[in-house]
Chain A
Amino acid sequence: MIRAEQLTLSYRDGQRRLPVLKGISIHINRGEWVALTGANGCGKSSLIRTFNGLKIPTGGSLSAAGLDLRSPGNRTAVKQHIQLVFQNPEAQTIGSTPFEDIAFGLENRGLSREAMLAQIEKVLHQVGLTHKAEADVATLSGGERQRLAVACCLALETEMIIFDEVTSMLDPAGRRDILELARKLWEQGTTVLWVTQRMEELAESPRVAVMSQGKILYDGDTRTLFYSSGLPDALGWPSAPAVRIGQLLQAKGWPLHSLPLTEKDLEAVL
């Protein structure tokens, strides 16, 4: 789905150029769930914005959904395949009702009006917002707004959705809702790149990529990251509780048939 090789990106700051991405190589396969993490300002947001053509890399090669993103035409075309859900629920609704918001993205698709209305109805149902189709978006909760943003991606029949810290401004109920929705889509075949700073969300992903200062420090299996890479300690992360208990049990010589990452894993181990 994504093939990035030695990707670089820098911004102009007066006379100088500030490097933001310093040679990133990452491959994401179709149907995968990958979590991407790193401290604020490490370049995560810039990286994912290159994946759907919102930012143009200054060097390296990048293809997404089989399109070479060095060509400007492909940077528009890629948006049909890869969509982003942004962090701030308030700053991504363009219509004043959920219906209008979803319609906005469909306007340029050359659909008939009937097909468009049917599509809107379908995705509103998928995210559970049918009863709010005509509501003023200002009355939606943060969680509902994020689900609406997902509906907009679904309407475009996108193959991959990048979630950019979508839970960071939500309450626990909203967070649970959007995670469950993402998981459902993933199980139906959507490729998911889940950007987060929350340890429990990392622990629940099969693969994690860790960024720091424009580089990828780690990309691989989540168990290896938490149990043998030493990286979480080096970065000062408070690991997820199940992991810390697992580490303790491991140190005490408890024969673990599998190293726990989540509470459910721990349950199974015990």
Chain B
Amino acid sequence: MRIQANHVFFSYDRLPVLTDINLDIREGTLTVLCGVTGSGKSTLLRLLSGLAEPAAGTILLDGGQAAAGNVSMVFQQPETQLFAGSVHQELEYGLAERGVPGPQRLELIRSALARVGLPYDEFGGRSPFLLSGGEKRRLCIAAAIASLPGLLVLDEPTAGLDPQAAGSLLELLHGLRRSGLTLVIGTHDLDSFLPIADEAIVMSQGAVHYSGPASTLSADPLVLTGAGLEPPAYSRLGHRLRQRGLLAELPDSLDSLLAALAEQPLPAPPEEAPPASVQIPRLSWSGGENLLPAKGNMAGRSSAATDIQTASARKPWQRLDPRVKWLGMVLGTLAVLGMQALLPLLLASGLITGLMLSARIPWQRTIRFFRPFLLMFLFLWLLSALTWSSPDYKLGPVGLSLAGMERGGLNVLRFLLLVALGFLFTETTTGAPLREALEWGIAPLKKLGIRTRNWSLAVSVTLQFVPWILDKLAQLQLALNSRGRKARGMARYTPRQVALLIVPLLILVIGMGDELATAVESRGYDPTKERTPAYLLSWQNRDTLVMLCILLAAALLWTVSRFS
């Protein structure tokens, strides 16, 4: 499949990520896409696979828009893109989404599994979650190629694999290329991929730094160093061997370097050997001085600047004693739970919105946090309005009831307010103050034999990982989208979608919990010992003032909800 990008722009949080990208990738080629972290590589991969839309410009596939199923993407972590109970179902899901009729599916599944070296008879019934790292990667590729796409996009396909698994995955991709599939591979591993690539694209600071034959990168290391990348080892070594007259030309792979060196009649070695190098060296790190990329790239610099800005804007909130914030959250939660009518709920909504504005939480962050909740709640709301018995509006066999809608709407609003309170609290309080205040608050429970220190630690670590969980959820959604259905809005939370997401999400969360528990233990955490807190609780006059305001607001809300 031929891919043409014309004047493509993309930005994220109003920061330009890609500027004026122009590409023409020929059908049946293997293209390596490289660049330092933050160069726009991953974003470009998503645009090429149709998982994101350019802000400006066009991406044409074979001169037009891609048909469903014609582009597939494989992401870096297999853990965030496997869903089903068996290898067979994993592949069947994508085929079903892409409208392949049932009877044709088995043949496509068998053939895709055969192509990646996972024979159907052996692997078809096994659980994807119990495969080895290398097998999971292969399965992801099988799921991507089952629908016979014209373009396969891969992000870091060999990262984290052991040498044998990485080697055989490379073979597999090389085989796919030979079979005529067009491949675009985003990678840092130039040593492995440049030798098998036809074309290469080097990204730097959101723009195309180089686009052309892959062999140029081996011949001219400056193209890579100019983009902050290190040339592959064979290219660095070839460069030096040539300087010493041991090679006639720069090699395009380690194998060609070895072959050329083997043919070369070697000149006599220099007579006086430098004595220092005879000893076993202390660790010596690779890379010649002239070829090493400049240290410290653009990545991260702009984000550091924004961090500092937002941190100073949130100061007044962070200066508050965490106990007063806990009090606000607990009273706020109780008040909201006691509300049955619209008026107090609207009043509380107004109050919480005002507080959120005053905390100056970045807008994009708020949207990212609330998006999954909003859609899920909207769905619940519709569900609560459905009725069979006494519908106000009929929609075929079911109907919608106004009373149900009202009841559901109020409940959803209450939930949203609770989520907003939690969000406001965690966004303005870091882990240590949150934990100290909680431990102070539940200290009396110690007398009952409850391990308050463990509890406060567990709560603060869990709250800290809510954004991580939402992030993983987004990655899983993206992977589901890449299997064919480009679900947007509410369609992302149909019961079927949710059922598919829940198992991998649980596995990720449990795995994370396990690793964190090990990390806690490894640091020598001992709840029985006296501890020195890094954060000291200190109650100031402003905290008393804020406490009075909270009590007043809670009383007001309670009164309004009582009499409305």
Contact = CB atoms under 8 A, between A and B. Distances in A.
A174 B297 CA distance: 11
B298 to A, nearest CB: 11
A252 B262 contact: yes
A110 B532 contact: yes
Contacts of B512: 90-91
Interface in B139-182: 159-160, 162-165, 167
A204 interface: yes
A238 B244 contact: no
A178 interface: no
Nearest to B77: A169
A94 B519 contact: yes
B316 interface: no
A244 B254 contact: yes
Contact of A263 (B188, B288, B518): B288
| Best-surrounded residue of B167, B286, B311 (most CB of chain A within 10 A) | B286
Contact of A113 (B244, B273, B532): B532
Contacts of A237: 163-164
Interface in A16-48: 33, 39-41
Interface string B241-272: 10010100000001001100110001001000
A2 interface: no
A197 interface: yes
A97 B525 contact: no
Interface in B269-296: 269, 273-274, 276-278, 280-288, 295
B160 A168 contact: yes
Given A39-B162, A109-B532, A244-B254, A33 B283 contact: yes
B241 A270 contact: yes
B190 to A, nearest CB: 9
Contacts of A204: 283-286
Interface string A223-253: 1000000000001111011101100110010
B233 A83 contact: no
Contacts of B286: 200, 204, 242, 262-264
Contact of A265 (B284, B300, B522): B284
B234 interface: yes
| Best-surrounded residue of A96, A169, A249 (most CB of chain B within 10 A) | A96
A183 B164 contact: no
Contacts of A105: 523-525
A54 B518 contact: yes
Given A90-B468, A104-B523, A257 B258 contact: no
> At the interface, is chain A mostly helix, strand, loop or mixed?
helix
Contacts of A108: 524-526, 529, 531
A110 B461 CA distance: 23
Chain B interface: which size bin? Answer: 35 or more
Interface stretch (A7-15, A62-70, A135-143): A135-143
A132 B530 CA distance: 29
B299 interface: yes
B536 interface: yes
B258 A180 contact: no
B37 interface: yes
B432 interface: yes
A28 B509 CA distance: 36
A104 B512 CA distance: 18
Interface string A110-141: 11110011001000000000011011101101
B269 A263 contact: no
B285 A179 contact: yes
Contact of B258 (A40, A95, A245): A245
Contacts of B299: 141, 173
Contacts of A107: 531-534
Nearest to A155: B523
Contact of A91 (B36, B311, B519): B519
Given A39-B162, A54-B522, A200-B233, A262 B284 contact: yes
Nearest to A205: B283
Nearest to A132: B304
Contacts of A172: 188, 229-230
B159 A168 contact: yes
B430 A97 contact: yes
A156 B162 contact: no
Interface string B107-120: 00000000000000
Nearest to B429: A96
Contact of A267 (B132, B230, B240, B283): B240
Contacts of B535: 100, 103
B258 A139 contact: no
B464 interface: yes
Interface string A66-109: 00000000001001100110101011111111011001111111
B545 to A, nearest CB: 25
A263 B430 contact: no
A183 B285 contact: yes
A248 B277 contact: no
B246 A270 contact: yes
A252 B467 CA distance: 59
Contacts of A54: 518, 521-522
Contact of B277 (A79, A106, A258): A258
A264 B273 CA distance: 15
Contacts of A41: 132
B556 interface: no
A248 B284 CA distance: 22
Contacts of A141: 37, 299-300
A199 interface: yes
Interface in A164-205: 168-169, 171-174, 176, 179-180, 183, 186-187, 197, 199-200, 204-205
B523 A183 contact: no
A96 B534 contact: no
A236 B163 contact: yes
Contacts of A91: 512, 515-516, 519
A104 B533 CA distance: 8
Contact of A131 (B162, B241, B304, B515): B304
A183 B286 CA distance: 13
B307 interface: yes
B81 to A, nearest CB: 16
A260 to B, nearest CB: 9
Interface of A: 33, 39-41, 49, 52, 54, 76, 79-80, 83-84, 86, 88, 90-97, 99-100, 103-113, 116-117, 120, 131-132, 134-136, 138-139, 141, 144, 152, 156, 168-169, 171-174, 176, 179-180, 183, 186-187, 197, 199-200, 204-206, 221, 223, 235-238, 240-242, 244-245, 248-249, 252, 254-255, 257-258, 262-270
Top 4 nearest A-B pairs by Cβ distance? A103-B534, A268-B277, A91-B515, A96-B431
9 contacts: A79-B523, A80-B524, A105-B524, A107-B533, A113-B533, A141-B300, A144-B300, A204-B284, A221-B280
